[in-house]
Amino acid sequence: MQSVESKILYNDRLAEGYFRLGLSWKTPEVKAGHFVMLRLSDGMDPLLRRPFGVFRVIGAKGKSTRGTGIELLYRVVGRGTTILSAKRPGESLGILGPLGNGFPAPQKGRKVVMVTGGMGIVPLYLLAQRLPEGTLLFGARSKKETFLLDEFRELGIKIKTATEDGSAGVKGFVTALLEKELSTDTVVYACGPVGMLKAVSRLCLDAGVQCFVSLERSMACGIGVCLGCAVRTINHEARENRNYKMVCSDGPVFDGKDVDWELL
C-alpha cells in the first residue's frame, strides 16, 4: 500500500464514454480484484478520491508497452470521471493503493465461471490473465454495451453473451447462461451491477456452488477508517449474526452467501 503521485502514460478513448488509462507506477504486487483510489483534481470540488479497479499490470514482462504501471478502464458517469477523461499523458494523479482483499485463487480442479456486465469486467480481466482456462458470461442491454471480449478470447477464455434486446448472443439475462454452467465443481466470480450480483448469488446458493462477488459502494477513505462503505453481512456461525463489513478493507470481494442482499 502506498500513496504517491503517478504519471499518466495514456488516456485513450475505447468507445463513447469509455476510456483506458495507463498510469506509471512502481506497482506493488497487484492481485485480481484490487482497486486504487485516484485523486482526480487538486481543487476542493470534487473533494474525495474515486475508486477504480485494476484492469491489468502493464510493461511488467519486458515486452513493454508505453511504460510500467497499471491500466484502468473507466466509464464517464459524473464530474470526477469527466475531469479524468480530459487529462493528458504526462499529467499526474495521486494514487493510493493497491487496496482491498482481491479474489481468492480458485482451488485446483475447479471450473471457473466469470459473470459480468458493464465495468464489472475490469477486475475479471486480471483474474482471467492468471487462469489456465475459464468461461466468461457477459450480460448487457445490447451489443453496444459489450466490449473487450476479444481480449478475453486472446487469453483462451470461452465467452458467452446475453443481451436484453437480443442484439448479441442469446436474448435475455446472463443468469440464464449461468444456470447451464453450474455444476458442483464450479466456482463463480462475479462483478457488475448489484441486481446482477444478487441474482447470480441466489442462483449459486440454490445450486450449492461457491460464488465470489465484488461489490461497489461510495467511498471516502478506501482504507477502512471512515466506515462509510459498509455492507451488512451474515455470519452463519454466530448468534449475533448480522454485522457490517467495509467494502474497501474487508472486501470488495465477498462470498455471495455472506452478503445480506436485502439491504443492498
Residues at the interface with other proteins (CB under 8 A): 1-3, 39, 44-49, 94, 96, 217-221, 223-232, 242-244, 263
Shortest gap between Cβ of 231 and ligand FES (angstroms)?
10
Measuring CA to CA, how many Å separate 140 from each of 12, 88, 120, 161, 264? 23, 30, 11, 8, 21
Q: How far apart are CA 221 and CA 48, in angstroms?
A: 8
Q: Which is nearer to other proteins, 77 or 170 (CB)?
A: 77
Site for ligand FMN in 201-240 (CB under 6 A): 226, 228
Q: How far apart are CA 111 and CA 187, in angstroms?
A: 6
| Bridge pairing between strands 186-191 and 210-214 | parallel
Shortest gap between Cβ of 197 and ligand FAD (angstroms)?
12
Q: What sign for the dihedral angle of Cα 21, 27, 32, 36? A: negative
Does the bond joining 51 to the residue before it have cis omega, within 30 degrees of 0?
A: no
* Other Cβ atoms within 10 Å of 44 Cβ, number: 6
Shortest gap between Cβ of 221 and ligand FMN (angstroms)?
8
Question: Any residues with CB less than 8 A from the CB of 237 and at least 6 apart, and which?
Answer: none
Shortest gap between Cβ of 180 and ligand FAD (angstroms)?
28
Binder of residue 45, out of ligand FES, ligand FMN, other proteins, none (CB less than 5 to 8 A by kind): other proteins
Which residue in the set 217, 249, 257, 260 belongs to the binding site for ligand FAD (CB under 6 A)? 217
Shortest gap between Cβ of 218 and ligand FMN (angstroms)?
12
The stretch among 11-19, 23-31, 71-79, 215-223 that binds ligand FES (CB under 6 A) is 215-223
Question: Any residues with CB less than 8 A from the CB of 163 and at least 6 apart, and which?
Answer: 139, 140, 141, 142, 143, 145, 146, 169, 170, 171
Q: For cell 482481491, name the residue.
A: 102
Shortest gap between Cβ of 168 and ligand FAD (angstroms)?
21
Which residue in the set 79, 141, 153, 158 belongs to the binding site for ligand FAD (CB under 6 A)? 79
Interface map 107-146 toward ligand FAD (x if CB under 6 A): ------------x--x------------------------
Q: Does 227 bind ligand FES (CB under 6 A)?
A: yes
The b-or-e profile of 227-254 (16+ CB within 10 A means b, else e) is eebbbebbeeeeeeeeeebbbbbbbbbb
Q: Give residues in contact with ligand FES (CB under 6 A).
A: 219-222, 224-229, 246, 248
